[in-house]
Amino acid sequence: MSSHIRIGTRSSALALWQARWVQTMLTSIGLKSELIPIQSSGDQQKQQPLYELGVQGIFTKELDTALLDNTVDIAVHSMKDVPTQLPKGIVAAFVPKRGAWQDVFIPNTTDWTSENSVVATSSLRRAAQWRYKYPSHSIVDIRGNVPTRLKKLSESNYDGTIMAMAGLSRLEMLPQNSVVLDWMVPAPAQGAILVTGLAENQKLLSTLKKLNHEETARCVDEERLFLRILEGGCTAPIGAHAQIVENNMHFKGCITQKDGGKQLVFDDVFPLNTKNIGQVAAEQLLAKGAKEILDA
């Protein structure tokens, strides 16, 4: 194992923040490291809505390639962007403690709940859930990293936008007037970071394992299992959130029709030792017609 770890990261402000945080964690266990910024396809293709690009792993594949080419030793991802099936030869190294998992609404006007409001988001999940709650509102696409989207909002006539609270908080850019959307079910693993490495690099993986936050890892595993059983990519209108309370896991998952016309929700509490909670939840929604919503 090298004493100098090369950390692969996307080049956006949020990705660099997350990579530096991981770098601090490595320092805490005596590992020296450097950041290797890599441009992703998702960062380069900013004109089309994400769901129209139709590519799973659009924010991760270049980092995967860098790992497999031995350009970097580990890669840092926003976990919600990572396909549920990792490429052959790449494994999870550790999952740090999760940040804020909620979505927030950032108003651009004072009357954003009015009947004809226009809301900006590039997320199919957020758009579908918003349409379900506010069927008279219009949705427009907005792309870019966190600072770019905030700038676009301020220069627009949109009534507001929906963003992940974690990214805004990490960059200290959460507007004071933002509204936490406690009714919106987040993307599976939203707010969590995944650090990946090569399966063959066992010595490094063994060293990094001590940085794993077990509670976060268990919750996101169930959320991603839910997503995998439903066969939805990161752009599918699927939400999931698992939370450990005392000795129980509260799991909520949903799938929403793209036009907001229909929504299926699973919401239940299980003893913590229950296995494959995400699968149980997904199979219940499939029995209620989730596949038909995905196919549409």
Report the pLDDT value the prediction gives residue 110, as an integer from 0 to 100: 86
- Return d(Cα 6, Cα 9) in angstroms, integer: 10
Pairing mode, if any, of strands 74-78 and 4-10? Answer: parallel
H or E segment to which residue 34 belongs: strand 32-38
Task: Determine what percent of the chain is predicted with pLDDT higher than 70.
Answer: 92
pLDDT at 53 over 60: no
| Average pLDDT of the segment spanning 209-227 | 97
Q: How confident is the model at residue 234 (pLDDT cuts 50, 70, 90)?
A: low
- Return d(Cα 199, Cα 205) in angstroms, integer: 8
pLDDT at 55 over 90: no
- Return d(Cα 249, Cα 233) in angstroms, integer: 24
Virtual torsion, Cα 39, 221, 126, 296, nearest 10 deg: 100
What Å distances lie between residue 70 and 45, 74, 156, 196, 276, CA to CA? 26, 9, 43, 13, 34
Report the pLDDT value the prediction gives residue 1, as an integer from 0 to 100: 59
Q: How confident is the model at residue 57 (pLDDT cuts 50, 70, 90)?
A: low
Average pLDDT of the chain is 92
Report the pLDDT value the prediction gives residue 56, as an integer from 0 to 100: 56
pLDDT in tens, 144-169: 999 999 999 999 999 999 999 999 99
- Return d(Cα 213, Cα 22) in angstroms, integer: 13
What Å distances lie between residue 265 and 6, 235, 274, 295, CA to CA? 42, 18, 20, 17
- Return d(Cα 149, Cα 240) in angstroms, integer: 24
Q: How confident is the model at residue 23 (pLDDT cuts 50, 70, 90)?
A: very high
Report the pLDDT value the prediction gives residue 160, as an integer from 0 to 100: 97
| Average pLDDT of the segment spanning 188-210 | 97
Tokens of 151: 């700038």
Q: Name 180's bridge partners.
A: 104
Residue 202 exposed, middle or buried by CB count within 10 Å (0-12, 13-18, 19+): exposed
Report the pLDDT value the prediction gives residue 108, as an integer from 0 to 100: 94
| Residues catalogued as catalytic | 81
The candidate with the shortest Cα–Cα distance to 60, out of 33, 80, 46, 88, is: 80
Report the pLDDT value the prediction gives residue 295, as an integer from 0 to 100: 83
Least confident of 3-12, 44-53, 118-127: 44-53
How big is the chain, counted in residues? 296
- Return d(Cα 282, Cα 294) in angstroms, integer: 13
Q: Which domains does the chain have, with CATH numbers?
A: 4-96+192-212 (3.40.190.10), 103-180 (3.40.190.10), 226-295 (3.30.160.40)
What Å distances lie between residue 294 and 164, 230, 232, 287, CA to CA? 23, 8, 8, 13
- Return d(Cα 22, Cα 28) in angstroms, integer: 10
Report the pLDDT value the prediction gives residue 296, as an integer from 0 to 100: 75
Report the pLDDT value the prediction gives residue 58, as an integer from 0 to 100: 72
- One-letter amino acid of 277: I
